[in-house]
Amino acid sequence: MEIDLLIKNVRVHDDKPLVDIAIHDGKIVAIETGINTKTHETIDAQGRAAIPGFVEPHLHIDKAFLHRRLPAVQGTLEEAIRVTGILKGKQQRQDVLGRSRRVLDMAVKNGTIAIRAHPDVDLIQGLIGVETLLELKEEYQNLLDIQIVAFPQEGIIKSAGTLELMEEAMGMGADVVGGCPYNEVSWTDTQRHIDMVFTMAQKHDAHIDMHADFADDTSDHRFAAAAYIAQKTMDTHYEGRVSLGHVTSLGALDPDEAKPVIELLRQAQINIITLPATDLYLGGRKDTKNQRRGLTPVRSLTQAGVNVAYSSNNIRNAFTPFGKADPLVIGNMLAHVIQFGTLDNQAAILRMGTQNAAKAMGIEKAYGLEVGKQADLVILDTFEVADALLDIPPRSWVIKRGKITVVTHYSCEIHHHHQGGKQ
Ligand SMILES: [Zn+2]
């Protein structure tokens, strides 16, 4: 028999010899040395490193690339919501599609094979984010998988009519129920918001993905909802199906206060998505000295056994003026900020942008660089897996469901001009 694709001479484990990867019918069928099967197509990786394709479990596509339209000046969360709210009121379909494609093309080129997108669902922009993403999900289906979250950025109780719009979004084909419980006027409403999200998710048998506890501290209870959400998750038997983005205020607690919350998150099998680009940019704005890093306590969460992933969140808008949808860039930044420098820590960061992120999206069963898994992988222009995070190398080949989707030709010559003793 003839297989579809054979990748020769590829580095999968730094401490083992180079291997060949045989791919057929969109799946990895063998990883061995010296595979000689007849093949339709061959890649000679020449010793380059391969890793599973990247996963972005938290990305806002509908409001990307708005950074020069109404630039933010203060750099606070409140300003970002306000400025973006003004622009959201003017969203035009073709414009949203154009900016969204720009993000998705970047993601594909960077080796991302799955995205969970969080389009705003509210009375300001209506369902345009969901509609455009449903279209793009089809358009990009051979390049990456897209999950759509019905995300109520403006609150649910605070913004009457939003719950109905979210229900409509779920009916249209959104996959995941979103939430933004901090954006309500009281702790009582925050709890009601969370309860409504769970009710809707149960109705549709859908996963839940909320923006939660996005503040510098927990003094305002609306930004200390993690324990409540964890308890609710267990009460509704939703273990493993809930992800929370940001959760930065947890990092401000003393270890003995944080510990019981982290233990609840572990028991409820909640996935925590840290969003360093945004959290670093918007956090700690009132600190006049010793400005905090303001991330969720990744080290404590990881040590406790909580699944932690990271993602880009926003690409060039008032929430995050930078970004190019490159998980290696975000991972490298995260490693610095949380001081994950040992070899084990560096490997852990790479897992947070791949396996852990896949788990957060609920796609881990078919995911990974192993026989029997879906052939979604990226071959990097570097020769050790451990150098991925350090080199941030070009993505030489990206493979989605066994098909080559990206080939990057990169060559650079260094000319040494010896000056022959001249000063
Ligand atoms: Zn977000």
Q: Going from the N-terminus, what domains does the chain have, and what CATH number goes with each?
A: 2-52+368-407 (2.30.40.10), 54-366 (3.20.20.140)
Q: Where residue 412 falls among pLDDT bands split at 50, 70, 90?
A: confident
Predicted pLDDT of residue 423: 54
Whether 262 shows a pLDDT value over 60: the answer reads yes
pLDDT band at 410 (very low <50, low <70, confident <90, very high): confident
Please state which of the ranges 35-44, 78-87, 356-365, 397-406 shows the lowest mean pLDDT: 78-87
| Cα of 181 from ligand 1 centre, angstroms | 13
Range scoring the smallest mean pLDDT among 64-73, 135-144, 161-170, 301-310: 64-73
- End-to-end CA separation in angstroms for the chain: 66
Rounded distance from Cα 357 to ligand 1 centre (Å): 15
Mean pLDDT of the chain: 96
The answer to whether residue 421 scores a pLDDT higher than 90 is: no
- What is d(CA 199, CA 216) in angstroms, rounded to the nearest whole number? 29
CA of 191 to the centre of ligand 1 (A): 20
Q: How far does residue 33's CA lie from ligand 1's centre (Å)? A: 43
Q: What's the 397 CA to ligand 1 centre distance in angstroms?
A: 29
pLDDT for 39 equals 97
Work out the percent of the chain whose per-residue pLDDT is above 90: 96
Q: Please state, in angstroms and as integers, the Cα–Cα distance from residue 243 to each residue in 178, 239, 266, 296, following that order.
A: 9, 10, 12, 14
- Calculate mean pLDDT across residues 321-347: 98
Separation of 269 CA from ligand 1 center, angstroms?
20
Cα(264) to centroid(ligand 1), Å:
23
- The CA 119 to ligand 1 mean position distance, Å, reads 9
With a pLDDT cut of 70, the percent of the chain lying above it is 99
CA of 343 relative to ligand 1 center, distance in Å: 29
Does residue 393 carry a pLDDT above 70? yes
pLDDT in tens, 181-215: 999 999 999 999 999 999 999 999 999 999 999 99
Mean pLDDT of 19-27: 98
Report pLDDT digits (tens) over 82-117.
999 999 999 999 999 999 999 999 999 999 999 999
Rounded to 10°, the helix 128-139/93-109 angle is: 40
Q: How far is the CA of 37 from the centre of ligand 1 (A)?
A: 46
Residues near ion ligand 1 (CB < 5 Å) are 313
Residue 350 confidence (pLDDT): 98
Give the Å distance between the CA of 260 and the centre of ligand 1: 25
Centroid of ligand 1 to alpha carbon of 60 (angstroms): 6
Q: Residue 389 C-alpha to ligand 1 middle, in angstroms?
A: 23
Residue 420 has what pLDDT? Answer: 67
Q: Tell me what pLDDT residue 422 has.
A: 55
- 77-93 burial: b if 16+ Cβ within 10 Å, else e: bebbbebbbebbeebee
Q: pLDDT tens digits for 42-76?
A: 999 999 999 999 999 999 999 999 999 998 899 99
For strand 308-310 and strand 313-314, is the pairing parallel, antiparallel, or unpaired? unpaired
**Cα 212 to ligand 1 centroid, rounded to whole Å:** 10
C-alpha 214 – ligand 1 centre gap (Å): 10
- Reduced to 3 states, what is the DSSP secondary structure of residue 303? helix
Interval between CA 278 and ligand 1 midpoint (Å): 8
CA of 31 to the centre of ligand 1 (A): 37
pLDDT value for 417: 84
| CA–centroid distance, residue 88 to ligand 1 (Å) | 15
Sheet holding 207-212, edge to edge: 308-310, 271-274, 242-246, 207-212, 176-179, 145-150, 112-117, 54-60, 313-314
Cβ-proximal residues to 60 (8 Å cutoff; 6+ apart), any chain: 117, 118, 119, 120, 313, 314, 315, 317, 319
- Residue 287 Cα to ligand 1 midpoint, Å, equals 23
